[in-house]
Structures are given as structure tokens and as C-alpha cells.
């Protein structure tokens, strides 16, 4: 089903038929696949450096893996449970699976052609080659054989399947060889599985230039060493995908959340299989054997795999591993390195607290340095004898040494340190558990949040004894406290000592670490308590302004727009005359540009060198504009099932920078894709105008081309 057909399925009714159950709404899963298609298009874009194109192909592949592990697996469970269609989505779960299958098959065809017909030949022309064992010279073969004998053979374990050997457990996303073996004495045929170890490099260097043999080929060429005396007739590569989400939302309140999540992380290793990927030329007999054996090992939650759940792939499976080749040190084939700027407010500061007392500071990563802002703020708090307490939320950690060192040094110095670590951060659970235990061992107070309510807010609260009394310094951001992703994701953060925001954060931390039903916040909008109501109130206020003839304007930037109630409010605003621009990187269920419904709404998606991650909103408010940044996308889970924060940016001097960043995104004709009324994304072109790329502009000027820093001044108490 193409995007036009999906849009037709949504009904696209006019305003007279816009009830709570029937209004234009694009399917979430297909919208996500459209986003991943835009990622794949970066791999095809000749303007992108060659190894960066390879990187995008790898990202497309790992994105698709996660989509199957979580979203497709969840839909399969809904189908098995007989779940109905959920309004306003136009497709029932079973229909979604069919549409997903068609769309994924199309995308896999495009990926195959991109790799086979474009990327691999172009890489070869630059001396980077994936070669077969058969193409190696004698010296190269001897070198690879020595590598196999020393490093590969000792870790391989062939597992036969026969009455004495049950079908082996196969781990999620691991590459395996299905080996057809014949006993030359009895003539009997056997099947064996050999796992391709993830502990070894996927691409084995042949020792001359950038030439590599896939590890599975190295193993396949030496299978006789695993089965001496047997005839290895042929072998084929396959891979499975398992359901990998956690089920904490279905659980009663556990006595020990950390222990419960540890158990679930272990148990998901045995989740049901939701996808089988095989080499395209795998014989029908081996293919059927895999389907039958994997089906028998399934849980009762879903139906067994069928042929419809099998993806035929060309010779190479697990293309996410291409990311290691994309990191090769060939500067002329990669993006020019980017060095983040030190935020101007902090460049010559001897004391960050003095700067923040004088004015609010807004930072923009990765264009401005994470280490000289967020990490420096934590280090200053740890080393300052006047700091009494540090409180912090952590969603996705990377074991950042600077953050760990700052927090542990603060605790060892006798400061009160409390950290809320979200154990339920998807696919980072094990890492966060380790991080939590490490911090507890240093005497840091660690809290874990609650089942069914993820703490996704990005906040730091530092309590300091200043000469004029106790003051709270805060950082509220849009992105994770993770130095690695801070170099790759676009995010913003506010440093302030505004006493009202400090009081709000104190209340928030008390509710997270203690026992509280906090519902009131002064300026901070917090999910699930107040955020949904606040966003609706802001949209409806613009609607009222437009109806009263005062105009109306909304610009909002986010990762995903899914929430039906918010979408209905935006449609009503458009019908009232509000002009709305949305910068939505990924999923967008809203249909823009429909006459009488959303004709004043425009949607663009920006895909490029950095992952667009910041959430920013602007509301004209009849000439008294308001600006917000926050951690939440406009999705039901963010409003209802997560702890999120959205903070007003009140300093007018900072508004110019936010205006410039939003204007840069909206003017983009290099990285931007426009969503049409037919549900199709089309890439903007700069053919008839100078090329304006968001990331190129912001690398040069982190706040667009606007001077955004306020003059130093005394803050009102």
C-alpha cells in the first residue's frame, strides 16, 4: 500500500465530519517506515560523502531491527489477542502487518539495489572492497587461515540437530550458518547450526589495503575443521529477530524494581521469534526446517512464523555491521570533522554559577560543547564547597567518565547527591542497572522510578549556599546526559537560577525520590500531571486569538507527532485561521494541507548529519510570544506514561536565537522533506535557490545567524 492509498484509508474527511472518531490520521507504523525510508535516501544521495552514505545504510538496517523487535512484535501480539482497530487509526492490527510487510519488502529492494549497484562498486573504486574467499591470493588465504585458527576456531561450537541433539537456542539478531552435512560412510544427511561470534570483527582484513572478507565466509570456508571426516555439502546464513520489549506495564507493583527489570532483561532473550532472515538462495528444505523448529519453540502468545515472516536477503545479512566500515579512517570519504564551540557565556567564566546568576544561558548541542557546559556545570558543582546538594535524572547513560567522576566526587565530599536512573530506558536497561549499582557503591542516593511510568525528563538541580542565601541552579534540557549522543544529536538546554523554576524542580525531585502526588507546578509543565493540558491550552489560546482577529501562529519542533487529541486541536486551530509550521523528524500522524481541515498546517522532516532531537515550541500569543523547550514529543506515551518536563524560555534575548533556529529549519532546502496532503514525503530542492542546509548553517552559527546572548545584568529576585 503506497502513501496515497494509506491516506485514502484514513478517510480525509472535511471539517463537518471531524468527530472524535473520524478525522485524517496517518498510521503510526507506516509513518515510521516513511521516516526510515528517508534515512535510506541519505545512503543514495550523491552529495553525502561515501562512507557517510554507508553509515546511513547501516542506521536504516539497525532501525528496522528495532522496529521488528518492538513494534511488529507488539502488533503480532495484538492480532493473536484479537485486539480491535483503535480509532482514529485507519488500519486494524492485522491490516497493519500486511501493509508493513509490503512496505518493508519495497524498502529492502531499495536497500539491496543501493548496496549492490551503487555503494559497493563506488567503495571498490576507492579501494574499499568486500571480497570472497575464492578471490584471495595464496598469501591472503594463508593470512586469513592463520587468523581463523588463532582467533575464530577456538570459539566456534557446531550444534547438530538430530534425535540426540534438540534444535539449539538462537539468540536475537545473531548471525548463524545453517550447514548441510553428509556422512560419507552411511550416506545420512545432517543439519548443524554454527553461530557467527559477535565477539570477533565482522569484516576480516586480508592484510592489504582496505580489503575485507565477511567473517561468515571465513567460517564457511573452514567448516571441515569443525566436522572432520564429514562432507560439508553447503552452508547458508540466517538470522532471527525476537520480541525484545519489557512487559512492566502489565505487572503488579514489584517489590524490587531493579531485580524485576534484571529478570525481564534476561527473559527477553527467549522472546518469541517475529522475523526470519535468510540468504536468498537457501534451499526450500532448510528454510522449512528453520520455520518448523522456530515455530515449535515459540511461546503461546503469538502464532508461529509463516512464509510471510521470512525475508529473503542477498549474500550479506546484518548490514548494521557496516557501521564499522563507515568509520574507516579515510578523511576524504567522510564528513569534515566538527568541533563544537564553547558557549560564549562560558568562554571566559571563572565561575559558572556567577554567569548563571547574571543571566539565563541557552546551549545548543552538538554545535556548542556538551563538555564545556553540562559536564562543566556538574564538575563545578562537585568541586564548589558552597554546593550542598546535586539532584539529577538519567535516562540513557553511556557511563560518561566526567559525569560519574563529578557525582562520585560530590558524594565523597559529603554533598547530598541523588540520581533518578530510569531502568526502563529501552535497550539500555542492562547498562543503566550497572550504572546504578556503581553509583550506589559510592554512597549516591539512587532511585529507579516506577513501573509503567518512565522518567524521561532531563533535569539537574544544584543547591548552593550563596552570600545572600540558599539558591537553586538548574539545567533543563531536551536530550540525555550522554556525552556520546551529545556529539550526534541536536539538543538544547537551559541553565538558570530562576527561583520559581528551582522550586518546581525541587517539587519534581521530591515526587520522584519520595512519596508524593504532586499535581501543581508554577511554571514548569510536567507529564503526566500538567503537560498535556498545558500544550492543549497553548494551542487553544492561539485558536481563540485567530477567531478574535488577532492572528495566530504556532511553530513546533519535535521527533514525533502521534497524539490524537493534540492533532484534533491543531486541526481546529488551522480551521480558525492559525498558521502552523511543524518540524517533525520521524512519525507524523497528522495530515497537512487538506482543504477545510489542515490547509494552514505545513510539516517538514529534517534528516542529515545529526539526529534532530530537540523539542521546541513557539506560540505567537497575540503579540506576546512564548517559547518552550522540553523532553517530550507529542505522543500519548509522553503525555500519559512518562515523567517529562517543558520549560518556558522567558529571557527575550534568548528568543532571537530560538527564532533563528526555527527559521533555519523551515528554510531548509537541502535536508528537508515536506509531507503532502496525500501522505507522501517529498524532498525539497535547492535547484532554483541557494542551498540552505540546517546542519551546515548551525555548525557555522549555533543559533542561526542571530546574536542571541543577553547583556550582563542583575537578575530580579
- Per-residue cell: 144: 586469513
Q: What is the pTM of this model?
A: 0.90
Q: Which residues are catalytic?
A: 456
In percent, the amount of the chain with pLDDT more than 90 equals 68
Count of Cβ atoms closer than 10 Å to residue 437 Cβ: 12
pLDDT digits (tens, 9 = 90+) for 288-313: 989 888 876 445 456 778 888 999 99
3 state DSSP class of 144: helix
pLDDT digits (tens, 9 = 90+) for 306-343: 888 999 998 799 999 999 999 999 999 999 999 999 99
* pLDDT recorded at residue 716: 41
* pLDDT recorded at residue 593: 97
Q: What is the mean pLDDT of residues 501-509?
A: 95
Q: How far apart are CA 389 and CA 464, in angstroms?
A: 7
* pLDDT recorded at residue 171: 87
Q: What is the mean pLDDT of residues 241-266?
A: 58
Q: What is the largest CA-CA distance in the chain?
A: 92
Burial letters 483-521, b for 16+ CB under 10 A, else e: bebbeebbbbbbbbbbeebbebbbbbbebbbeeeeeeeb
Q: How far apart are CA 262 and CA 402, in angstroms?
A: 26
* pLDDT recorded at residue 688: 73
Considering only 247-251, 345-349, 692-696, which range has the smallest mean pLDDT? 247-251
Domains of the chain, CATH where assigned: 1-126+321-334 (1.20.58.310), 127-305 (3.30.1840.10), 344-513 (3.30.870.10), 525-705 (3.30.870.10)
Give CA angle at 590 (690, 704), nearest 5°.
Answer: 30
Amino acid at each position: 500500500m503506497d502513501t496515497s492509498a494509506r491516506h485514502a484509508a484514513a478517510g480525509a474527511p472535511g471539517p463537518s465530519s471531524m468527530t472524535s472518531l473520524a478525522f485524517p490520521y496517518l498510521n503510526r507504523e507506516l509513518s515510521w517506515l516513511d521516516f526510515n525510508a528517508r534515512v535510506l535516501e541519505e545512503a543514495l544521495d550523491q552529495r553525502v560523502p561515501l562512507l557517510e552514505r554507508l553509515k546511513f545504510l547501516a542506521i536504516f538496517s539497525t532501525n528496522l531491527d528495532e522496529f521488528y523487535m518492538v513494534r511488529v512484535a507488539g502488533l503480532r501480539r495484538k492480532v493473536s489477542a484479537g485486539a480491535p482497530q483503535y480509532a482514529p487509526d485507519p488500519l486494524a492490527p492485522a491490516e497493519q502487518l500486511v501493509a508493513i510487510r509490503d512496505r518493508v519488502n519495497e524498502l529492502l529492494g531499495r536497500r539491496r539495489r543501493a548496496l549492490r549497484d551503487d555503494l559497493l562498486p563506488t567503495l571498490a573504486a576507492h579501494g574499499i572492497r568486500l571480497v570472497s574467499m575464492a578471490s584471495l591470493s595464496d598469501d591472503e588465504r594463508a593470512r586469513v587461515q592463520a587468523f581463523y585458527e588463532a582467533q575464530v576456531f577456538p570459539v566456534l561450537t557446531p550444534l547438530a540437530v538430530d534425535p540426540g541433539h534438540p534444535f539449539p537456542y538462537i539468540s536475537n539478531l545473531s548471525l548463524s550458518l545453517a550447514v548441510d552435512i553428509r556422512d560419507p560412510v552411511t550416506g545420512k544427511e545432517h543439519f548443524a547450526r554454527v553461530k557467527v561470534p559477535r565477539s570477533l570483527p565482522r569484516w576480516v582484513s586480508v592484510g592489504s589495503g582496505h580489503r575485507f572478507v565477511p567473517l561468515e565466509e571465513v567460517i564457511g570456508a573452514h567448516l571441515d575443521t569443525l566436522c572432520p571426516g564429514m562432507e560439508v555439502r553447503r552452508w547458508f546464513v540466517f538470522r532471527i529477530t525476537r520480541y525484545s520489549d519489557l512487559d512492566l506495564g502489565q505487572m503488579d507493583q514489584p517489590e524490587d524494581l531493579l531485580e524485576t527489570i534484571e529478570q525481564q532483561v534476561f527473559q527477553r532473550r527467549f522472546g518469541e521469534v517475529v522475523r526470519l532472515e535468510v540468504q536468498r538462495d537457501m534451499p526450500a528444505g532448510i528454510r522449512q526446517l528453520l520455520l518448523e523448529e522456530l515455530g515449535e519453540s515459540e511461546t503461546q502468545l503469538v502464532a508461529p512464523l509463516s512464509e510471510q515472516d521470512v525475508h529473503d536477503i542477498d549474500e550479506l545479512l546484518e548490514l548494521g555491521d557496516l557501521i564499522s566500515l563507515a568509520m574507516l579512517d579515510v578523511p576524504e570519504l567522510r564528513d569534515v570533522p566538527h568541533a563544537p564551540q564553547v558557549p560564549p557565556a562560558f568562554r571566559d567564566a571563572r565561575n559558572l554559577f556567577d554567569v548563571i546568576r547574571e543571566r539565563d544561558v541557552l546551549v545548543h548541542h552538538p554545535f556548542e560543547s556538551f563538555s564545556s557546559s553540562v559536564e562543566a556545570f556538574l564538575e563545578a558543582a562537585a568541586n564548589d564547597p558552597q554546593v550542598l546538594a546535586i539532584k539529577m535524572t538519567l535516562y540513557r547513560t553511556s557511563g560518561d567518565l566526567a559525569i560519574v567522576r563529578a557525582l562520585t566526587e560530590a558524594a565523597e565530599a559529603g554533598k547530598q547527591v541523588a540520581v533518578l536512573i530510569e531502568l526502563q530506558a529501552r535497550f539500555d536497561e542492562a547498562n543503566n542497572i550497572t550504572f546504578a549499582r556503581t553509583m550506589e557503591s559510592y554512597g549516591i542516593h539512587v532511585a529507579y522510578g516506577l513501573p509503567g511510568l518512565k522518567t524521561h525528563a532531563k533535569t539537574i538541580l544544584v543547591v548552593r549556599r550563596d552570600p545572600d542565601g540558599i539558591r537553586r541552579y538548574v539545567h533543563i534540557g531536551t536530550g540525555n546526559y550522554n556525552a556520546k549522543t551529545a556529539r550526534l544529536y541536536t539538543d538544547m538546554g537551559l541553565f538558570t537560577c530562576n527561583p520559581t523554576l528551582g522550586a518546581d524542580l525541587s517539587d519534581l525531585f521530591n515526587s520522584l525520590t519520595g512519596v508524593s502526588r504532586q499535581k501543581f507546578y508554577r511554571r514548569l509543565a510536567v507529564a503526566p500531571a500538567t503537560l498535556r493540558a498545558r500544550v492543549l491550552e497553548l494551542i487553544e489560546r492561539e485558536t481563540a486569538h485567530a477567531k478574535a482577529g488577532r492572528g495566530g501562529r504556532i511553530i513546533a519542533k519535535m521527533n514525533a507527532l502521534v497524539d490524537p487529541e493534540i492533532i484534533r486541536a491543531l486541526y481546529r486551530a488551522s480551521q480558525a485561521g492559525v498558521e502552523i509550521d511543524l518540524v517533525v523528524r520521524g512519525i507524523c500522524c497528522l495530515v497537512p494541507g487538506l482543504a477545510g481541515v489542515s490547509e494552514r498546517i505545513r510539516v517538514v522532516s529534517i534528516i542529515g548529519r545529526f539526529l534532530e532531537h530537540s523539542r521546541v515550541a513557539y506560540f505567537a500569543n497575540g503579540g506576546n510570544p512564548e517559547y518552550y523547550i522540553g523532553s517530550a514529543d507529542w505522543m500519548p506515551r509522553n503525555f500519559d506514561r512518562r515523567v517529562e518536563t517543558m520549560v518556558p524560555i522567558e529571557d527575550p534575548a534568548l528568543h532571537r536565537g530560538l527564532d533563528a533556529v526555527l527559521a533555519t529549519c523551515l528554510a531548509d532546502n537541502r535536508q528537508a522533506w515536506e509531507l503532502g496532503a496525500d501522505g507522501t514525503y517529498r524532498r525539497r530542492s535547492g535547484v532554483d535557490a541557494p542551498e540552505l542546509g540546517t546542519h551546515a548553517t548551525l555548525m557555522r552559527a549555533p543559533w542561526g545567524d542571530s546574536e542571541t546572548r543577553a547583556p550582563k545584568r542583575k537578575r530580579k529576585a
